[in-house]
Structure 1
Amino acid sequence: MNRSAPFYLFMLMVVFSPLAIDIFLPAIPAMADAFDAEMASIQALVGIFILSLGAGQLLAGPLADRYGRRPVALTGVVIYVLSAALGAIANSIELLWLSRLLQGLGTCAIVVAAFSGVRDTFPKERLTALYSYLNGVICIIPALAPLLGGVLTEFWDWRANFVFMAGYGLLAGVLILRGLPETRPEGTRADGALISWERYAPVLGHPVFQFYSVMNMLGMAVILAYVSFAPAVLMVDLALSPMAFAAWFGVNAAINIAAAFAAPSVIARVGKRNGLVLGVSLCLLACLGLIALQGWADPLAFMAPVFVASIGFCFLLAISGGAALIPFGERAGTASALLVCIQMSGAALVLALISLVPLSAALRLAVLTLLPLSWWLLSRLRAQQYGQIKAAMES
């Protein structure tokens, strides 16, 4: 079995998720007009996708361990393309919701195959850098996708965004079909029930996985809240045009890119523990900035703290994503699935709960940027478990 997989394919595979989230954001007002629907109904397309993406991991991970990474990835691509095509021809908001639900399921299969494939293919000492590079690729898409979505919507209509997603899926699918080998290690075939407590318990019960998966989730909740709140803050409250919104979105994404690609070098120099402290501290600084600047009716008053939080987010994910999977080489598919499930569905749940709090969007985001520090402090109180976590940080 050939386990040598080119890293560029994994980079193509992780693009599916942010592309599906970000490309149609500038089209949200046009979609609301087209369906004569409330803005909340269109914004729900992001939440439906994220929840589906997260929950689907519970099945995609065991499938990747049982049948292999390659067939799971290819099946996910087929579902992604068909669901994007369904979204392009949808004539009701309910059908559009269904397309996003299916698109999330297809994406989750691709993401599981990508992350477990990286864990299969490369040595653990390289995982922090490689996961940071994957996060850097993920961050490139929010810089480009809203600009592309704005152009597609302005010169055609909102449906062109879904046509583009289907086209990308077809192109990437051909490259994956031709170039992705099976990376699953020998002897890791998972028999028995696909979804069972016995399969997940060893992963969920591991203190290192618990700490890093929740930290990963909280970092994702910060960026997901920004994606959800920014259209309302910038295009509704501050009356920016879709292209101006896309420009601000692009600036933040450019900062994400720089931070994601710089993070491995910084972490290698200061160590995982200090790198995590840096990420948590930057989120705290963003929290204070959002509180201090909330009264200013200027895009920079909202976006400047977001820029700081985005850098912190890159450090949190660069360290947490790889560290959570290191103990589970023999069941990387299941561990990857649980990690993404907790990251995505957990972040969506946290966002849903904070959205119920009667605060402004800026203050809601401030609360979320405070949670990584809270989790760090809570974990330190669990002395025995924190000893294992600290050892993992130093490895």
Structure 2
Amino acid sequence: MSTPSSKPDSRLVALMVLLVLFSPLAIDIYLPAMPVMAEDLGVSATRMQDTISWFLVTMGLGQLLAGPLADRFGRRPVALTGIVIYAVSAGLAWVASSMDALLAARLLQGAGACATSVCAFAAVRDTFSGKRCGQMISYLNGAICFIPALAPLLGAWLTAQFGWRSNFSFMMAFAVVAFVLVLTLFRETRPADTDTSGPLLSPARYWSVLKEPVFIYHAMLCLLAMSVILSYVTSAPVRLINGLGLTMDEFTVWFGINAAFNIFASMTAPKVMDMIGSRKTLYGGLITLVSGGVLMLSLSHIQAAWAFMVPVFISSFGFAWVLGSAAGKALEPFGQRAGTAAALLGLFQMSGSGVLVSLSQRVGFSEPELLAFHMFLMLPGLLLLWSAKGKRWHTAEC
């Protein structure tokens, strides 16, 4: 049990990093293998992209159950259960012989990943308060960005040496190691005064969070920022490998460079918030993302990898600043309902972005147009932040 503080707990932070890595690992490790997987299973590139979008949809929806479970039974048992589900579903993906079987396994895997993610962010909210909570979330996001830097390199090697199914073997092994570490090292963080009365899935539990305009506004910003990243990771293999003819190794180099920008942006976002405040950081992030969309369209006629990736590099900073400023603010009012609030935030961020990107991919946009479209969707949030309501919902100091 714990109460929010401002002092870091290095072991807890390390374990929370471990828990949030399940989701990006499940997305990024097999990105270089997606063209091979599509050919092997006889499906289109768009259909193979559904393995990512559907994973995120289930990951978000599952949090509606995982959040209340984490509030009722504690962060530790729910996290351990999620790890088991993740490992089993990775095994099902490994033996999948059809696209339908692979999608079913990915849906289940999203349910496992959602439990680990909810528990990680709820534990951060349990342990850290105020601005420190937002900063720690930024650090977690920075750690998450190590996966896009390393996982595609590993996935490319595994695919070349052992075939695309070996990526799911690695996920199983990762889950086993994580299970042992969480089982032996993770101490429960759920506050002693957490309200565990009433039905588990009471609509009132969710409504108490959803009726807060501060939550809705910042959760929507997280959704839209995540949709930029999701549209990138699903479109990059199609644009760079299929469209521009890059090799798998060349693709992983570009992907790794962007991950390095993501890491730097996320790790420095807390310092930026310290220097200029979270409101100005949010301003900067929204403006950066919109500007990235303008640049993406301006360079879209150039058939070169750099023309596609440079606007993405810029958007990495916008994403880190928006998510660091908005996620902590969205969870801030919910000390005794941190699990439920984290679950709803995950629903917005994961399921919302998954549905939005899946629909926009079917409109007929080219890959640069798709990314620019999602970057431009940040503009209403920027305009609202300038309004009187926006100034109330996100004060200059938080």
Superposition TM-score tier, normalisation by shorter sequence: over 0.9
Counterpart amino acid of residue 124 in structure 1: G
| 1:1-395 to 2 correspondences below 5 Å | 1=1, 6-378=12-384, 380-381=386-387, 383=388, 385-391=389-395, 393-395=396-398
Superposition deviation, residue 380 in structure 1: 4.5
Aligned partners of 2:138 and 2:269 also within 8 Å: yes
Aligned partners of 1:67 and 1:189 also within 8 Å: no
3-state SS of 1:56 partner: helix
1:87-133, CA deviations, whole angstroms, 9 ceiling, x for partnerless residues? 11222222211110110000000000000011111232311221111
Counterpart amino acid of residue 131 in structure 1: I
Superposition deviation, residue 266 in structure 1: 1.1
Superposition deviation, residue 352 in structure 1: 2.4
Superposition deviation, residue 140 in structure 1: 0.7
3-state SS of 1:161 partner: helix
Aligned partners of 2:279 and 2:397 also within 8 Å: yes
Counterpart amino acid of residue 376 in structure 1: L
What is the rounded CA distance, in whole Å, between the counterparts of 2:280 and 2:362 in structure 1? 34
What is the rounded CA distance, in whole Å, between the counterparts of 1:352 and 1:98 in structure 2? 17
What is the rounded CA distance, in whole Å, between the counterparts of 2:94 and 2:79 in structure 1? 23
Aligned partners of 1:272 and 1:394 also within 8 Å: yes
Aligned partners of 2:71 and 2:196 also within 8 Å: yes
Query: CA RMSD of the aligned region, Å?
Result: 1.5
What is the rounded CA distance, in whole Å, between the counterparts of 1:119 and 1:56 in structure 2? 20
Moved more, 71-80 or 242-251: 242-251
Counterpart amino acid of residue 267 in structure 1: M
Aligned partners of 2:87 and 2:176 also within 8 Å: yes
Counterpart amino acid of residue 302 in structure 1: F
Aligned partners of 1:211 and 1:379 also within 8 Å: no
Residues 373 and 160 (structure 1), Cα distance of their counterparts in 2 relative to 1, 3 Å cut = same
Superposition deviation, residue 324 in structure 1: 0.5
Superposition deviation, residue 220 in structure 1: 0.4
Q: Give the share of equivalent positions with the same residue, in percent.
A: 46
Give aligned pairs, total: 392
Note the residue ranges of structure 1 that are not aligned, 5 or more in a row. Answer: none
1:8-29, CA deviations, whole angstroms, 9 ceiling, x for partnerless residues? 0001111100000000111112
- Give the equivalent residue in structure 1 for 2:6: none
Aligned partners of 1:76 and 1:107 also within 8 Å: yes
Residues 289 and 177 (structure 1), Cα distance of their counterparts in 2 relative to 1, 3 Å cut = same
Moved more, 181-190 or 211-220: 181-190
Aligned partners of 1:217 and 1:343 also within 8 Å: yes
Aligned partners of 1:282 and 1:312 also within 8 Å: yes
3-state SS of 2:135 partner: helix
Aligned partners of 2:54 and 2:354 also within 8 Å: no
Aligned partners of 2:385 and 2:391 also within 8 Å: no
Note the residue ranges of structure 2 that are not aligned, 5 or more in a row. Answer: 4-8
Residues 352 and 44 (structure 1), Cα distance of their counterparts in 2 relative to 1, 3 Å cut = closer
1:163-222, CA deviations, whole angstroms, 9 ceiling, x for partnerless residues? 000000100110000011111101214333322321111211111111111111111010
3-state SS of 2:336 partner: helix
What is the rounded CA distance, in whole Å, between the counterparts of 1:37 and 1:166 in structure 2? 25
Counterpart amino acid of residue 47 in structure 2: S
Counterpart amino acid of residue 390 in structure 1: H
Superposition deviation, residue 379 in structure 1: 5.2
What is the rounded CA distance, in whole Å, between the counterparts of 1:155 and 1:387 in structure 2? 54
3-state SS of 1:107 partner: helix
Moved more, 298-307 or 89-98: 89-98
Aligned partners of 1:2 and 1:181 also within 8 Å: no
Counterpart amino acid of residue 334 in structure 2: F
Aligned partners of 1:32 and 1:42 also within 8 Å: yes
3-state SS of 2:192 partner: coil
What is the rounded CA distance, in whole Å, between the counterparts of 1:315 and 1:158 in structure 2? 34
Task: State the 4+ residue runs in structure 1 displaced beyond 3 angstroms.
Answer: 1-5, 378-381
